[in-house]
Copies of this chain bind each other. A is one copy, B any other.
Amino acid sequence: MITMTEIARLTGVSQPTVSRVLNGNQAVNPEIRERVLACAREHNFQPNVIARSLAGSRTMLFGLVFTDISNSFFADLEKYLEQEAKKSGYSVILFNSDYDWNREKECLDVMRRYRVDGLILVPVEENSERFQQEMKKLDIPAVALTRKTEGMDCVYVDHIEAGGQVARHLQQLGCEDYIFAGTSRDGKYEGFLKTLKDAGTGCEERLTKIETKDPEKLRKILRQHFEEHAGRTGIFAYNDRRAIQIHGILQELGIRMPERASLVGFDNTYTCELLYPGLSSVSQPNQEMAAKAVQCLLRKIEHPEEREIMDEPMKARLIVRGSSAGA
């Protein structure tokens, strides 16, 4: 692959002149300019970003660390992040932590080795001591994505508020019982529970939390629930994957949506609208989140002195479909 020095030799000028032409910075003799450009085109010159990174001090790389890119929600985010980064000439180097803290730590080290200019990550355990420690000694601008993270810039939707939206929606439908399927680590459950409580009609006592994702167990629990409870049950799953699983089980058991079971998922992945009945789901503003994260990073790179932390939760939006439609 041809280098600037080589072009310089071929066109009989100095290498910095070639650099000036190719970067279009300063004024150069039009004649020389043409000669150099022609030569560069002819040999399909591509600047060596590696060398440029070493000389300058930007690698034009963002590091992305996801927990699991095979989750459509994250894959979607990745696409937007890449798009947004490209607008500023950045490329991305990608890692999956697989929800494993040790891997995440390894990823961070690799990022350091590549001297990425910025880091966008979905932390595995955003509020643990060891993570905070690691972030403190990380000398790269970083943004936490989808999780509220103490002491660092973060872009996320308010899960507590979102959980509340779902609760209100299900209450309005006249649900008598409630099920939450998933873990309570990210605030959805908290918000869901709180809103049920606040309604004051004691419906929080009619809330069951199901943590298992084992299909057999899940089926058994649901069957039993609907045998014992005649009224309408609102089901809130902490992500679409779980919601789709429940959707399938309800179909199998012949429990009608939305009449007997009103189901709501989270992330509004593309499958939601393909199912029948369509799966209601909480939509996160993926594109805006991606843009915000990248812009935050860019700002920190441009102005390293500004140390104020960005932490304004964004708002999720409930998309109602057939699985929890009203009358």
Contact = CB atoms under 8 A, between A and B. Distances in A.
Centre residue among A110, A276, A278 by max chain B CB count within 10 A: A276
Contacts of A283: none
A46 interface: yes
Contact of A70 (B50, B79, B93, B245): B79
Copies of this protein, total: 2
A251 interface: yes
Contacts of A228: none
Given A49-B115, A112-B1, A248-B274, A94 B96 contact: no
A99 interface: no
Contacts of A70: 72, 75-76, 78-79, 270
Interface string A235-252: 000000100110111011
Contact of A275 (B96, B115, B137, B244): B244
Given A54-B54, A245-B274, A82 B109 contact: no
Nearest to A83: B96
Contacts of A59: 50
A93 B91 contact: yes
Contact of A249 (B49, B69, B276): B276
Contact of A69 (B75, B252, B278): B75
A72 B61 CA distance: 25
A244 B82 CA distance: 28
Contacts of A44: 137
A327 interface: no
A75 B73 CA distance: 11
Given A50-B54, A51-B54, 16 more contacts: A49-B113, A50-B114, A61-B93, A69-B69, A69-B78, A70-B72, A70-B270, A71-B75, A79-B96, A82-B96, A91-B110, A93-B94, A244-B274, A244-B275, A248-B274, A251-B276
A113 B46 contact: yes
17 contacts: A44-B137, A47-B113, A48-B54, A48-B113, A48-B115, A69-B78, A70-B78, A71-B75, A72-B72, A82-B94, A82-B96, A92-B94, A93-B93, A241-B274, A248-B278, A251-B251, A271-B271
B1 A139 contact: yes
Interface string A270-282: 1100111110000
Given A72-B72, A75-B75, A271 B244 contact: yes
Contacts of A69: 69, 75, 78-79
